[in-house]
Structure 1
Amino acid sequence: MLWLFEERFSKEQWRSQPTTRYKMVDDIIESQLLIGKTKDEVIVLLGKPNTSSTNQQDVFVYRIGKSPSFFESKREQLLIVFENQLVTKVTTAIEE
């Protein structure tokens, strides 16, 4: 069962409505959709990342919009961590 603000991942919606990506993040993480995929496979599904980093970790970062809240909420982002060119971890973090 999905919560009110959650939706299943849709490649088309992810790409066309970036401010509502927060609705699909739980499905991406819980289904382990990206685990074991290469960078190219991730880009085919999610498009190019907003930023990427290779200093300490090899990470793609995607902005996911701001979910509705009764309290002041911070913007989150989706972090996709690669090791040996494959996704090993997918999580969210507060945007800095």
Structure 2
Amino acid sequence: MILRPTFIILISIVFILVWLFVRTIDHRKWLTLLVSLALTPIAYFYVFYPLINIFTSYHHEKYFDENSWKEQPELRYEMLNHILSNQLFVNSEKDSIKTVLGKADWLGWDEATNSKSENKWNYNLGFKPGAFNDKQECLELIFKNNKVTQLKTYQLEKDFE
């Protein structure tokens, strides 16, 4: 295990909280210290750490991989930062996008013509992990003259029945 400053700070906070709790039970300092040292790892890994994971939206990030994109569509959100930061598909043609990403999940809406637009391709990226996350991540590729000019992300709220 690698000791990082964040881990050391968090484990110290948990130790202080456990020590204060144990001190309310018994005021002998040597016993309080021993019990606190024994209970701190248990409280950290079985109470504190799971709560942090539930209430934060941390997730793994991956580089874009064509095979993972096609085989695991529910985990596409892991590749989103790499796609956006490197503008991977900007200036790519429709045929190459269709080869790499596959057929668009749905077409975007064009306000000017009040219809679906063949120049707005949308892809479902899945749901980021988190206890209170009910929004689906989506990526929209906007084409002009058969080339991608813009990448947009947005979230769709999903109702689970």
Same fold (TM > 0.5): yes
Larger relative CO (CA 8 A, sep 6+): 1 or 2?
1
- Structure with bigger helix share is 2
Map 1:1-96 → 2, pairs under 5 A = 4-53=59-108, 55-56=110-111, 58-95=119-156
RMSD across aligned C-alpha pairs, in angstroms? 1.8
1:65 aligned partner, one-letter code: G
Give 5+ residue unaligned stretches, structure 2.
1-57, 112-116
Q: Percent identity?
A: 31
Q: TM-score, normalised by structure 1?
A: 0.87
Partner of 2:21: none
Q: Give the conservation status (yes or no) of the 8 Å contact 2:127–2:133.
A: no
Aligned length: 94
Q: Distance in 1 between matches of 2:108 and 2:94?
A: 13
Q: TM-score, normalised by structure 2?
A: 0.54
Larger mean CA deviation between 6-15 and 51-60 belongs to 51-60
SS of 2:67's equivalent in the other structure is: helix
Query: CA 1:54–1:39 in 2, change beyond 3 Å: closer, same or farther?
Result: farther
Give 5+ residue unaligned stretches, structure 1.
none
